[in-house]
Homo-oligomer: A and B are copies of this chain.
Amino acid sequence: MGIILKQERLYKTYMTDKSNHSSLARYLDGEFWEIKDNLREEISKGEVFRKSSYGLPLDQNRDLTVERLEYILTRPLMRRHLQDQVKEKQAGFIAKSMDITEVICSADMATGVKFGVVCGLYGGAVTNLGSPEQTETWYLPVTALESTGMFAMTEKSHGSNVRGILTEARYEPSTQEFIIHTPCDDAQKMYIGNAMKGNYASVFAQLIINGESHGPHCFIVPIRDHSGVMTPGVTAIDMQHKEGLHGVDNGIVIFDNVRIPRKNLLSKFGCVSTDGLYSSPIQCKGKRFNAMLAALTPTRLGLSVQAMASMKLGLLIAVRYSHSRRQFGPKDQKEVKIIEHQTQYLRLMPHLAAALALTFTTSKGMAVLYQDVFSVVWFAGGMMDNALCKGEVLQDNSSLQALVAGLKAYSTWENLACLQECRECTGAMGFMMENRIPGLKCDSDAFVTFEGDNVVMLQVVVKELMTQYTRQLGNSVDGGLIQTWASSVSDSFRTSFLGFNVDTVGDLGFLLKALSYRERVLQRSLAARLYAKVEKNKEEFFHAWNSCLHHVTGLALAHIHRVTLEQFALAVQKCPVEEDHTLLTKFCLLHGTSLVYQERAWYLEHHYLTPTTSRQIRTQWLELCRSVKDVALKVVSDFNVPSCCIQAPIAGVANPRAEWAFHSLPEYPFTVSKL
Contacts and interface: CB of A to CB of B under 8 A. Distances in A.
A542 B431 contact: no
A615 B416 CA distance: 29
A39 to B, nearest CB: 28
A448 interface: yes
A171 interface: no
B342 A431 contact: no
A529 to B, nearest CB: 13
Given A160-B427, A237-B660, A660-B156, A438 B542 contact: no
Contact of A342 (B432, B546, B657): B546
Nearest to A241: B433
Interface in A423-441: 423-424, 427-428, 430-434, 438, 441
Given A159-B428, A605-B604, A540 B450 contact: no
Nearest to A58: B55
A190 interface: yes
| Most B CB within 10 A of own CB, among A58, A156, A342, A420 | A342
A405 B111 CA distance: 42
A647 interface: no
A411 interface: no
A160 B240 contact: no
A412 to B, nearest CB: 10
Contacts of A157: 326
A11 to B, nearest CB: 25
A177 to B, nearest CB: 29
B448 A442 contact: no
A161 interface: yes
A431 B448 CA distance: 10
A209 interface: no
B328 A242 contact: no
Interface string A533-575: 0000000111100111110010000000000000000000000
Contacts of A604: 601, 604-605, 611, 614
A54 interface: yes
A252 B241 CA distance: 29
> In the assembly, how many copies of this chain are there?
2
A454 B55 contact: no
Contact of A331 (B428, B450, B541): B541
A583 interface: no
Interface string A296-339: 00000000000000000000000000000011111100011000
B542 A331 contact: yes
B605 A327 contact: no
Contacts of A607: 611
A540 B159 CA distance: 58
A455 B345 CA distance: 13
Contact of A190 (B428, B453, B553, B614): B428
Contacts of A657: 240
Interface in A116-172: 154, 156-161, 164
Contact of A614 (B431, B434, B605): B605
A27 to B, nearest CB: 32
Contacts of A161: 327-328, 335
Contact of A454 (B330, B424, B432, B658): B424
A528 interface: no
Interface string A612-638: 001100000010000000000000000
B611 A606 contact: yes
Given A424-B449, A430-B449, A342 B605 contact: no
A164 B335 CA distance: 10
Given A328-B542, A547-B342, A453 B441 contact: no
Contacts of A441: 243
A233 to B, nearest CB: 19
A600 interface: yes
Contacts of A615: 605
A471 interface: no
A30 to B, nearest CB: 31
Contacts of A190: 428, 660
A246 to B, nearest CB: 9
Contacts of A448: 424
A330 to B, nearest CB: 4
A188 B341 CA distance: 24
A79 B428 CA distance: 33
A239 interface: yes
A479 interface: no
A428 B191 contact: yes
Contacts of A156: 660
A343 interface: yes
A428 B433 CA distance: 23
Interface in A475-506: none
Given A188-B660, A438-B442, A330 B543 contact: yes
A15 interface: no
Given A188-B660, A428-B449, 4 more contacts: A157-B326, A341-B455, A550-B622, A604-B611
The 9 residue pairs across chains A and B that have the minimum distance between CB atoms? A243-B438, A601-B601, A342-B549, A241-B433, A604-B604, A330-B542, A605-B611, A55-B241, A600-B601
Interface of A: 54-55, 57-58, 154, 156-161, 164, 188, 190-191, 237, 239-244, 252, 326-331, 335-336, 340-343, 346, 416, 420, 423-424, 427-428, 430-434, 438, 441-442, 445-446, 448-450, 453-455, 540-543, 546-550, 553, 600-601, 604-607, 611, 614-615, 622, 657-658, 660
30 contacts: A54-B241, A55-B241, A159-B428, A161-B335, A237-B660, A239-B658, A240-B658, A241-B433, A242-B431, A243-B431, A244-B431, A328-B542, A330-B542, A330-B543, A331-B542, A340-B546, A341-B546, A342-B547, A342-B548, A342-B549, A423-B445, A424-B448, A428-B450, A442-B442, A550-B622, A601-B604, A604-B604, A604-B611, A605-B611, A607-B611
